[in-house]
Amino acid sequence: MGVVLMALGGTISVPGGPRGTRLTGAEITAAVPGLAELGVPLEVRDVQAVPSGSLTFAQVLDVVAIASRAVAEGADGVVVTQGTDTLEETAFLIDLVWPHEAPFVLTGAMRQPAMAGADGPANVLAAVRAAAAGQTRGAGVLVVLNDEVHAARWVRKTHSTNPATFASPSTGPLGHVVEGKVRMLLSPARHKPLPAGFDRERLEGARVALHVVTLDDDGAQLEGLEATHQGLVVAGFGVGHVPAVLAPRLGTLAERMPVVLTSRTGSGSVLRHTYSAPGSETDLRRRGLIDGGFLDPYKARVLLRLLLAAGAGPEDIVEAFAQHG
C-alpha cells in the first residue's frame, strides 16, 4: 500500500499568505522535488490543521488511531507533518502507545514554504524515505528532519530558529539519509506499548504539573497543588537536586501523588545515591520521589499523564519509569 501521510498543520503548512490559511497535505507534497519519482505509493490525508502548540493529548491519540487503521489496511509506514513546537512531546506520546512494526515518522519545518531556504520539502522527502525503508521497521516512532533519523525517546528541539534544531543529546541520531538512502546506525530499545484506548474524561482529569526548580526556590508555587493535580514532575538542578527548603514540601506532595524527579539540564540522567545532603537525589528518593532516569521533564510529564489516565497504581508507575527512564 505504501505510505500514508497525514498533515496536522504547523510552519510546514504556512504559505505566507493571508492570515489563517494553511496548505493542505496535497499542496505540501506537491512542492517536494523528487517525491513522485521515489516509486513509493503515497496516500495523503488532512487531519488537524492547528499549530502544534494547540494540540491536545486526545487529538494526538486520534491520529494514532487513524494511523493504526491505515497499517491494519496494509500501509507500510506512516508520516505525520506537524509544527515543531511540541514535536518532541507528541513523538514520545505516540511512541508510548504505538504497537506496530511499521514505522511512524514525524517531521516538520523551521522555515515557512515562502522563505528562502525552506526546509519543509527536504524534510518530507526524507521522512517518506524513512517510512518506506525496511531498515526502520520495528524502530518505533521516529523524528526525521535535516536528513537525520532520531528516536522519539531521545530527540529534543534545541534551538528556537535553527533548521538543525532537532538533536538527541544523550545518544545522537539513530541514522541518516545519505544520497537518498536511509542508513540506520543504531536500533532503539522497544518496550511493550501502553494501551491507546484511553477514556477521554479520565485523560482530561489526569492533570500533571511541571515545576522547574530555580535559584532560591521555596516551593510557594506548589501550594495547593494536591487539590488541582494528580501528579507532579520536578525539573531539578543538575543530577536531581533542589534547595534544601523545598525538599520537605516535595516529600509531603509525594505522600499524596506521584512526584517524578528529572533534570532541567536537557541531557543526562538524574542520579540515585551519589549525594546525600538535604535536597539531594538521595534525600528526595527517601522522601518518596520517583527516579525519572534519563527522561527529560517534558517527556516524563507525558509518561506520567498516560499512566494516571490508564489507572496505574504507585508500583506500576515506579516500574514504568524504571523501564522508560
Rounded Cα distance, 256 and 73, in Å: 45
CB 313 within 8 A of CB 236: no
Annotate 35-52 with b (16+ C-beta within 10 A) or e (fewer).
beebebebebebbbbbbb
Where helices occur in the chain by DSSP H, the ranges are 25-30, 57-72, 87-97, 120-132, 200-205, 247-254, 281-286, 297-309, 314-324
Tell me the DSSP string of 51-69.
-GGG--HHHHHHHHHHHHH
CA distances from 245 to 134, 234, 281 (A): 53, 15, 14
Q: Is 11 a catalytic residue?
A: yes
- How long, in residues, is the chain? 325
Q: Write the CB contacts of 205 (distance below 8 Å, at least 6 apart in sequence).
A: 230, 309
**Torsion, Cα of 227, 231, 237, 243 (10° steps):** 30
Please state whether beta strands 156-157 and 104-107 pair in parallel, antiparallel, or not at all (unpaired): unpaired
Residues 6+ apart with CB under 8 A from 295: 262, 303, 321, 324, 325
Catalytic (active-site) positions:
11
